[in-house]
Amino acid sequence: MTINPNTITGQIYLTIFELLEEQPKGIQWTELNRRIEERHPDFHPKTINGCVWKLIEKFPERVHKPEKGLFQLINGE
């Protein structure tokens, strides 16, 4: 799935992947939401939360949850 950087959700997903690349051991749900809100304070928190909620569903080949609440890039990213 391609990400459109011209949309709000596209910008959120690009930020998510940047953050996950910085943390190879993964990021907890709450920390991920907080960091996205810090980078994009004008974006509605529910939009951010919705993107994180759908992350595994939209990008199953790129992201997984090795344990509850933890998001991590799949090896090879």
Q: What is the pLDDT of residues 34-61, one digit of tens each?
A: 999 999 999 999 999 999 999 999 999 9
Contact yes or no for 10/4 (Cβ under 8 A): yes
Average model confidence (pLDDT) across the chain: 93
**Total number of residues shown for the chain:** 77
- Asked whether the beta carbons of 17 and 60 are under 8 A apart, the reply is no
Determine the pLDDT at residue 18.
Answer: 96
Domain 8-73 has CATH 1.10.10.10: yes
Task: Please check whether residue 70 is in contact with residue 26, taking contact to mean a CB–CB distance below 8 angstroms.
Answer: yes
pLDDT of 77 higher than 50: no
